[in-house]
Amino acid sequence: MSKQFTYSISSIRFDENYHPADSTRLTTNFANLARGEQREENLRKTLRMINNRFNALAHWDNPAADRYSVEVDIISADLDIEGNGHTFPVIETLKTTIVDHKENTRIDGMIGNSFSSYVRDYDFSVVLLEHFDKNPTLPPPADFGDLHGKLFQYLLNSEAYQANFTKQPVICLSVSTSKTYHRTINQHPVLGVEYRQDEYSLTDDYFHKMGLTVRYFMPAGSVAPLAFYFTGDLLSDYTDLELISAIATMETFQKIYRPEIYNANSAAGQVYQPSLQYQDYSLTQIVYDREERSQMAVKQGKFTQEQFIKPYQAILEEWATSFDVNERTSEACADKEYAA
């Protein structure tokens, strides 16, 4: 691998002692909770919610619903563009580890889960806003998200990623409030009832450029479907416990951030239109400032523009032009099949 465009990976434990790194986006769900006077209580309650949800889903041989606990690590991927040791924090995700207290073992959980990206902030909070200001009736430019998608796929094929992780990531996000979802007859024992929609959202298209496919499932005990973004086969590439670790972690965050959807007092029906205007929902006891989070996205998008896009624009454009998405994607699939 060239000394240019080299990823390095680091991790930090997400627990009650967690303090966001200087390079972490403040809009990131886990970082937002670790601020203010109630930060430790926020973190303790969040982890308790994750553990309770995990045990509720992993209920077999678990009569007291306390067999498992989940450890969460924040994975940071920093990119050295020029090979001079100066890096930019391109992507952050979460890695879960499952502790089986009955067998006294540790089991790999899901890699991916949440997805944090400064470049995505730049795309949605700078590029997209400027585009719609000038062209309010036109769709986003055809190349919207191209660079970000290639940076993500380059990470998955990097020596750093393959040295640390044996599986491809699964990203779990909220469904779009601009789309309508229809329940199908397909039901998975862990992921639950599958929903489908007739038209993909802008986020779906954006993640497609990252090489990810999306499916929507509402697990047992949930009140709204989650969007799962993945490569390969979501239903066969991951164990039940891996899938449960993703559901427990990300549904907890969504209950905190989007209670109108994921902590509603009634479950999604046959035809489901998510809405943040829904009033019949319950609040968690965890402090979260959603208004501040939306304002910070714009600030961090502009930070990315000044610190990453502008200084390296010529290099990024040249690299992106030479990066073969199809070739890299096929290489990733081949590696996955070999590992299996």
CA dihedral 323, 122, 179, 263 (to 10 degrees): 120
Enter the DSSP assignment of 81: S
**What six digits make up the tokens of 13?**
């434990």
Identity (one letter) of the amino acid at 277? Q
Which class for 142: exposed (0-12), middle (13-18), buried (19 or more C-beta within 10 A)? Answer: exposed
- pLDDT tens for residues 10-64? 998 888 777 665 555 444 555 566 565 677 888 889 999 999 999 999 999 999 9
Residue written as tokens 């501040």? Answer: 292
CA distances from 65 to 53, 109, 243 (A): 9, 18, 18
Which class for 166: exposed (0-12), middle (13-18), buried (19 or more C-beta within 10 A)? Answer: exposed
CA dihedral 232, 238, 244, 245 (to 10 degrees): -90
* pTM recorded for the entire structure: 0.90
Which class for 75: exposed (0-12), middle (13-18), buried (19 or more C-beta within 10 A)? Answer: buried
Mean pLDDT, each 10-residue run in order, the chain (340 residues): 79 80 52 65 90 98 97 94 91 96 98 92 93 92 95 96 96 95 98 94 95 97 98 96 98 92 97 95 79 71 93 94 63 32
**Greatest Cα-to-Cα distance within the chain, rounded to the nearest angstrom:** 60
Query: What's the pLDDT score for residue 34?
Result: 57
- pLDDT tens for residues 193-230? 999 998 899 999 999 999 999 999 999 999 999 999 99
Enter the DSSP assignment of 325: H
Residues 6+ apart with CB under 8 A from 48: none
Spatial contact of 309 and 316, defined as CB atoms under 8 Å apart: yes
Closest CA to 249 of 47, 38, 32, 42: 47
